[in-house]
Amino acid sequence: MKLHPLSVVYRVGTRVVGFAWGFVVAAFAGTAVVPFLDTAEVAALGALGVLALAGYEVARYRRFTYALTESSLDVASGVLARREREIPLRRVQNVDVSRNVAQRVLGIATVHVETAGGGSTEAVLDCVSVAEAERLQTEIRRLKRRLDEDESASAEGADAEAATGEARVDVEDEETEVFALDTHHLLLASALSFDARLVSVVFVAQPFVWPALAPVVGDLGGMALLVVGALGVVGLALALWVASAARTFARYYGFRLTRAGDDLRYERGLGQRYTGTIPIEKLQTLVVRETVLQRHFGYASLSVETAGYAPGSGPSGGSEAAVPLATRSEVLALARDLEAFDVPEFEGVPTRARRRYAGRYAIGVGAIVALAALVNALVVSYPFWWAPVALFALVPAAAHYRWVHLGAAVDDAHAFTRAGFWTRRTHVVPHDRVQTLVERATLFQRRWGLASVVVDTAGSGGLGSGDAVAIDVSTERAAALVETVSERVRASLAARRERE
């Protein structure tokens, strides 16, 4: 089968918009895009580029084919270099469908196929019709279930299992709503969110905004400059908060989570609509997130890691969220439905870790003050360059709050870790999902007699990337954690083999 013909129009359009944005940025920066060409020549060159791009996309469309068989998804692609892939359906973990505004207007969708242990998306069908995307999502799930049933029936030699297979499929296909985000909680989730990544926009915009503000600000001095600076910081923080709230609102608009058999199915999004599945049997880790504001008001969010991808690495940048926002008790109740556990008493880290953080933060503030002094002395003189000295007063509180939110615990079936002040993350890892245990200590940790223990699963993107980590525990506690978890992992695997 082939992609939708409108995929050519969509891909050409998105690339033209991307190139046009580069031209706009160059124009605002006051830089000639091509200094030795006039406007007409640049326009002609751009038209030729669009024609060449359209020709390439047509060739890509003609060379891209896919086929769904009883046991695999076969994809062939490539214009200059041919690539053929056969993806066994048994390895498929997630089939996600996304539709942005342009795709919804054109009636097309993008299908992402994730496999177990994949660090990136295994296959992307960009783009197919909405009906075809839904068919692929349903058929892959049905065929994968049939393969699992056939394998189970073959292993047990049970004809009755095969005879009742179709009836079981019908029952599993019935969806039960698990969670729906109403308007009140959507607005609350938006208000309580703050995406620190948006701060990078300030640095990107600075070269364009500062030249316009410099003549105005340059005439100010003394207290007036201080007041304007303070108002600017407050206004910037407010703008970033509004932008973060709008982003959260658009991401989780219409969020609905249902359960069908062994799968959780979600749908969400305002401008860009996402639908997908979370296979419960492939669950690796549960993550309870609580921002500072959410903790204050008693709210939290829940996300899951599966063998297909970890939080934030999916095609939707967070499509694995099971509950975007609910009261902490509701979040824990749903988490226990997915994986039975009791919240333990976390054992904190040694107080010397707090002294380590205080020293680290003090050095950081000292570096900022030294940099400000150098700029004032050697580059440009400006008032109140010494203002960062006030940050030293915040060092003890910053060190304490980082220290107090660290902890780890182990019970008979799970390992737990907790870390983070601005966003506290509590990881719940079943012992039978643990892939690797790593005890590590940097040069500075060894100086303080501290170490960290990484509990790696198949859902993380590699050691330290989304893993559960017991941070800055004592070296004795780290060794005990590794030994205890290792023993219980072996016991869990032995018990599972006996059940099978």
- Per residue in 22-57, pLDDT (tens digit) is 666 555 554 455 555 666 777 788 788 889 989 999
In a domain, 70, yes or no: yes
| Last-in-domain residue among 361, 385, 401 | 401
- Give the residue from 252, 419, 271 showing the smallest Cα distance to 322: 252
Please report which confidence band the pLDDT of residue 309 belongs to, taking 50, 70 and 90 as the band edges: low
Half-sphere exposure for 125 (CA within 13 Å, toward CB) = 30
In a domain, 369, yes or no: yes
Question: How far apart are the C-alpha atoms of 165 and 151, rounded to whole Å?
Answer: 12
Total of domains in the chain: 4
Same domain, yes or no: 10 and 125: yes
H/E segment holding residue 429: strand 423-430
Angle at 147 between CA 141 and CA 152, to 5 degrees: 125
- Give the residue from 425, 410, 412 showing the smallest Cα distance to 466: 425
Share of the chain above pLDDT 70, in %: 81
Same domain, yes or no: 160 and 207: no
What is the per-residue pLDDT for 246?
92
Same domain, yes or no: 396 and 449: no
Collapsing DSSP states into helix, strand and coil, what is residue 419? strand
Same domain, yes or no: 357 and 467: no
| Last-in-domain residue among 185, 211, 244 | 244
Question: How far apart are the C-alpha atoms of 304 and 279, rounded to whole Å?
Answer: 10
Collapsing DSSP states into helix, strand and coil, what is residue 122? coil
In a domain, 43, yes or no: yes
Angle at 406 between CA 401 and CA 411, to 5 degrees: 150
What mean pLDDT do residues 389-411 have? 95
Share of the chain above pLDDT 90, in %: 47
Binning the chain into helix, strand and coil, the percentages to the nearest 5 are 50, 25, 25
What is the per-residue pLDDT for 216?
66
Same domain, yes or no: 129 and 10: yes
Question: How far apart are the C-alpha atoms of 19 and 12, rounded to whole Å?
Answer: 11
Question: How far apart are the C-alpha atoms of 229 and 386, rounded to whole Å?
Answer: 15
Same domain, yes or no: 364 and 479: no
pLDDT at residue 310 is higher than 70: no
| Last-in-domain residue among 366, 401, 436 | 401
Predicted confidence (pLDDT) per residue in 406-429, tens digit:
999 999 999 999 999 999 999 999
What mean pLDDT do residues 304-333 have? 70
What is the per-residue pLDDT for 386?
86
Same domain, yes or no: 371 and 497: no
Sign of the alpha-carbon dihedral angle for 276, 278, 282, 285? positive
Please report which confidence band the pLDDT of residue 445 belongs to, taking 50, 70 and 90 as the band edges: very high
What's the token pair of residue 4? 């939708």
Same domain, yes or no: 15 and 134: yes
In a domain, 233, yes or no: yes
For the chain, count helices (H), then strands (E).
15, 19
> Residues 323, 302: contact at Cβ < 8 Å?
yes
Same domain, yes or no: 126 and 225: no
Question: How far apart are the C-alpha atoms of 52 and 57, rounded to whole Å?
Answer: 9
In a domain, 155, yes or no: yes
> Residues 217, 225: contact at Cβ < 8 Å?
yes
In a domain, 435, yes or no: yes
Same domain, yes or no: 26 and 110: yes
**Mean pLDDT score of the chain, rounded to an integer?**
83
In a domain, 20, yes or no: yes
- Give the residue from 174, 201, 494, 225 showing the smallest Cα distance to 382: 225
Q: Which residue has the higher pLDDT, 199 or 77?
A: 77
What's the token pair of residue 349? 């880290």
Instruction: Give DSSP secondary structure letters for 241-307.
Output: HHHHHHHHHHHHTT-EEEEETTEEEEEE-SSSEEEEEEEGGGEEEEEEEEEHHHHHHTEEEEEEEES
What mean pLDDT do residues 163-184 have? 68
Same domain, yes or no: 23 and 134: yes
CA distances from 499 to 90, 411, 413, 433, 494 (A): 21, 21, 16, 16, 9
Same domain, yes or no: 155 and 208: no
Sheet holding 92-99, edge to edge: 123-129, 108-115, 92-99, 273-279, 263-268, 256-260, 176-180
Q: Which residue has the higher pLDDT, 390 or 383?
A: 390
What is the per-residue pLDDT for 228?
74
Q: Please state whether the peptide bond connecting residue 127 to the residue before it is cis, i.e. omega within 30 degrees of 0.
A: yes
Question: How far apart are the C-alpha atoms of 202 and 211, rounded to whole Å?
Answer: 14
What mean pLDDT do residues 369-389 have? 84
Domain CATH code at residue 499 = 2.30.29.30
Q: Tell me which residue range forms the domain holding 214.
A: 196-244
- Give the residue from 338, 308, 309, 340 showing the smallest Cα distance to 322: 338
> Residues 263, 421: contact at Cβ < 8 Å?
no
In a domain, 174, yes or no: no
H/E segment holding residue 123: strand 123-129
What is the per-residue pLDDT for 442?
94
User: Looking at the DSSP assignment, which residues form a beta bridge with residue 448?
Assistant: none
pLDDT at residue 357 is higher than 80: yes
